[in-house]
Amino acid sequence: MRYLHTMVRVKDLDASLHFYTTIFGLKEVRRSENEKGRFTLVFLAADEDLEAARAGGAPCVELTYNWDTEDYTGGRNFGHLAYEVDDIYGFCQKLIDNGVTVNRPPRDGRMAFVRSPDGISIEILQKGEALASAEPWASMQNTGSW
């Protein structure tokens, strides 16, 4: 058995692609449009997984955009996505600078949570050892749910 991808339903494909690619840094690996089924699938991968994802050897995030609008609530979602980054403080600052709320700041230098435009919880983990605790993160409170 091999893990292939995580599917996330999105309501606004452009807003979701802006978040996942421009702000979050994922890269589009492939896309398929199904006119009969009235949906678009976009597969995304992290930089370090890009080559393997293109060869079919690394998991991706699959954004599923149904052309007929539908509101997705927590019942059609799941726990969270998780990504590892080189500098959790710098990455979280980039997200904040782009208008993303860090719901669970990286107070411990190791873990943070944000939400996508569709309310999907995303865990951000520090690659390797946790960074030393630092301000403003150490005293930053949680915002909303994650």
Query: What's the CA dihedral at 115, 118, 120, 123 to 10 degrees?
Result: -30
- Cα distances (Å, whole numbers) of residue 84 to 26, 69, 73, 88, 122: 12, 32, 26, 8, 11
The reply to whether 123 belongs to the active site is yes
Q: Do residues 72 and 11 make contact, with C-beta atoms less than 8 angstroms apart?
A: yes
- Which residue, among 123, 17, 1, 4, has the nearest Cα to 53 in the 3D structure? 4
Residue of 35, 123, 129, 135 marked catalytic:
123
Indicate which residues carry an active-site annotation: 123
